[in-house]
Structure 1
Amino acid sequence: MSTIESLFVTRLYRARLSEFGPSVDTNELEVSCFSIAEDDEAGQEWCEENAYPGYTSYASLTDLPWRFPIFADVVSALDQHVAAFAKDLEFNLDGRALKLEDIWINILPEGGMHASHIHPHSVISGTTYVSMPEGASALKLEDPRSGRMMASPVRQKDARRDLQPFIYMKPDVGDVLLWESWLRHEVPMNMSEDERVSVSFNYVWE
């Protein structure tokens, strides 16, 4: 009797940021993001020099949890989510922990986008969503095998979700998404007149 099974599964974790505690007020977090963006002249200059749409603190600030207590609460919550995801992935961490390496703010205006990319040298990456106005772009995830499919036919439009070449995840405010850092992803153009605000991060194995 013939059998077909799925191999080499790509996992995606989705939860409410405050599921394990502490509770994070997304309104306060949004105000903090805009306050930091307004004061971060180095970040503003980097964005301008690199034609980066909107604002990111990625290249300028490395101490958000120290600057604003609410970011310390975010990290405390993220630590628990990452531990849960690592358990699901059945990682053998050899007595060591996955630890936060980077955390940064993204403010994406109308027409802004983030091109397809991965997060090298990290184990788990993700984003928590602070403001997602109507029309704000979803997260686009790419099948990691796409570059090896060579002469493969395209999938049918109604193909099963686990066979689709791209998956679009539309998170809600207060959600957190986690994935393994090698998974290629992008943020398509923001079609909303309002800004899309998120906080992204990387965890490494130490």
Structure 2
Amino acid sequence: MKYKISLLLLFVFALNSCQNENAKRLAENEKEAKKKEVIFNNINKGWVFIDEPINEVSEQKVKTWNEWREFLKELDDKPRKTIGAFQKKSTAIAKKAIALNENIPPEFNIPQIKSRISILITKVKMMDLFLHLDRIPDEKVTFLIGEINKELVSLERQMDKIVEKSKIPKEEGEADFLRMLDTTRAIPNTPAPLDKNLQVE
């Protein structure tokens, strides 16, 4: 009889500890779900990109520069419902950002534009990386969205400056003068080799 009672007590104790473990697990899962919901809400609130051209020049480029148009279109489409949707969208945005290096219009294929595109790509890739971490740092993601917007504005303003500069008429002889200043076209400053036929007296 004592054996049955001790076995019954052991069974009750095991059942009770299992219920405690399940209660702990459920509480932890609920806590984790709330954290994920807060992260999702913060990212959802902060996911605001400048997806429209800010000046006439970048609006013109939307018509002719296919990669630029595709990039802005990708920014325009906001994901919904889950963190997974934001992760897919950030990956798509990163691919479109990398494509900006291809087929840059000739007037913009200069170091000032290329460096701004590189910075933009770096920030987009960082955002994508943070969104794919196990513990997503939502503050960093929203901060990077703001930084990406700043880089977009900087890039579009630089494009505008280039177009405005090109409209200024050049003075007579200015083109020749600028060519003379170009160090890549300069004649090397090396002494000419001595002619072997000349004899020194």
Quick check: which has more Rg, 1 or 2? Answer: 2
RCO higher in 1 or 2 (8 Å CA, sep ≥ 6)?
Answer: 1
Is TM (by shorter chain) over 0.5? no
TM-score by length of 2: 0.22
Higher helix share: 2
TM-score by length of 1: 0.22
